[in-house]
């Protein structure tokens, strides 16, 4: 019985992850492969970078992918640290859109998206041009994955593995944060981890404080991707990856300092706990953006002073090396897309 329920849960999770990846890939194809160039040219200030990061994450459905792109652009010398930090802060806010989708009833949208996407896809085959059919079909896959996850989570939540996770995450916010970090690192998607927490909270398995702790932990866990991507890059690219981690850490500390007040405000946003959890994720990231965005220039200076002794010599800063590393990272990004 456990093996069967686990299999169903994994299949639902794979469909959801595949759907999210397909949304980003199909939107990228619809844009004619010009998205990287648009991102690079639209971040002249940290404020514009924030807007680009917000839009890019909604567009690609992956804050981790946007963050890795920022690491690549900085490594290639096409973006500075301040601009990159603006994009990353915007990406953190953009990822909350997926959380809101998990918190609302979406099953009635599956058939319209599926049928419309199928018709448009047929026209794409006939006219040999992208019309958004793959995008709608991918969205239908995401919505279907969410519904299957709802169905499979309830019996799977009664298994020994989940009961241990529930038991560990309860008691203090710190334990919930650790559980969220672990889950996001295993699943390799903060959006799906947070979505699962929202669904389980809606079924009564988590209280709002427990769910909020896991949500902010999952946000912190997703920083691992950027840190891995920064290995072997130039110091500014490493600094933006670490800046992403410190940004999330400070945001978490700030929320913990005003934990009761933050919970009170979140409870006022809705009577439904699933919506409360989704709204807490949005408020948490908006709070972090409000704290950091006005001070992003000073934050960049602090990061630049970290590891100043590791500055590269002129030869290592040569344009050839930058272009070569940038090309390598972009090839890896295309594989993800």
Residue 27: is it exposed, middle or buried by C-beta count within 10 angstroms (0-12/13-18/19+)? buried
Out of 38-52, 80-94, 312-326, pick the least confident: 312-326
Q: What is the pLDDT of residue 315?
A: 43
Residue 118 and residue 133 in contact, taking contact as beta carbons nearer than 8 Å: yes
Q: What is the pLDDT of residue 161?
A: 66
The pTM of the full predicted model, rounded to 2 decimals, is 0.73
| Sequence spans of domains, the chain | 2-336
Q: How far is CA 62 from CA 85, 131, 190, in A?
A: 16, 22, 9
The beta-carbon contacts of 310-317 under 8 Å, at least 24 apart in sequence, are 310/235, 311/235, 312/234, 312/235, 316/234, 317/234
> What is the rounded distance in angstroms from the CA atom of residue 78 to the CA atom of residue 333?
16
Q: What is the pLDDT of residue 158?
A: 61
Query: What average pLDDT score do residues 189-215 get?
Result: 86
SS3 31: coil
Q: What is the pLDDT of residues 241-266, one digit of tens each?
A: 899 999 999 999 999 999 999 999 99
User: What angle (nearest 5°) sits at the alpha carbon of residue 231, between those of residues 308 and 321?
Assistant: 75
Q: What is the pLDDT of residue 317?
A: 46
Q: What is the pLDDT of residue 171?
A: 75
Q: What is the pLDDT of residue 313?
A: 45
* pLDDT classification of 318: cutoffs 50, 70, 90: very low
Query: What average pLDDT score do residues 89-100 get?
Result: 85
Residue burial 278-297, b: 16+ Cβ < 10 Å; e: rest? bbbbbbbbebbbeebbeebe
> What is the rounded distance in angstroms from the CA atom of residue 202 to the CA atom of residue 199?
5
Query: What average pLDDT score do residues 65-82 get?
Result: 78
The overall average pLDDT reported for the chain is: 78
């Amino acid at each position: 019985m456990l093996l069967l329920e686990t299999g169903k849960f994994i299949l639902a999770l794979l469909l959801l992850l595949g759907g999210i990846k397909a949304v980003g890939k199909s939107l990228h194809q619809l844009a004619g492969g010009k998205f990287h160039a648009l991102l690079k040219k639209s971040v002249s200030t940290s404020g514009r970078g924030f807007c680009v990061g917000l839009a890019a994450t909604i567009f690609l459905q992956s804050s981790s992918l946007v963050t890795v792109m920022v690491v690549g652009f900085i490594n290639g010398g096409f973006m500075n640290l301040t601009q990159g930090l603006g994009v990353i802060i915007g990406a953190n806010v953009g990822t909350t859109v997926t959380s809101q989708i998990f918190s609302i009833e979406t099953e009635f949208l599956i058939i319209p998206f599926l049928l419309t996407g199928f018709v448009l896809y047929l026209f794409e085959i006939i006219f040999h041009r992208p019309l958004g059919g793959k995008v709608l079909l991918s969205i239908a896959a995401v919505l279907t994955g969410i519904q299957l996850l709802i169905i499979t989570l309830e019996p799977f939540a009664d298994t020994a593995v989940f009961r241990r996770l529930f038991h560990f995450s309860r008691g203090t916010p710190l334990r919930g944060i650790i559980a969220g970090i672990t889950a996001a690192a295993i699943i390799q998607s903060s959006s799906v981890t947070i979505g699962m927490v929202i669904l389980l909270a809606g079924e009564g398995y988590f209280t709002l404080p427990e769910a909020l702790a896991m949500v902010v932990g999952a946000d912190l866990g997703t920083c691992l991707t950027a840190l891995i991507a920064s290995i072997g890059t130039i110091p500014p690219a490493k600094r933006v990856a670490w800046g992403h981690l410190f940004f999330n850490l400070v945001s978490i500390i700030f929320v913990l300092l005003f934990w009761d007040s933050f919970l009170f405000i979140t409870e006022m946003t809705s009577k439904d706990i699933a919506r409360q959890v989704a709204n807490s994720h949005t408020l948490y990231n908006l709070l972090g953006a409000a704290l950091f965005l006005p001070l992003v220039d000073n934050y960049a200076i602090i990061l630049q002073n970290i590891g100043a002794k590791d500055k590269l010599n002129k030869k290592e800063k040569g344009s050839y090396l930058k272009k070569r590393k940038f090309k390598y990272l972009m090839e890896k990004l295309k594989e993800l897309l």
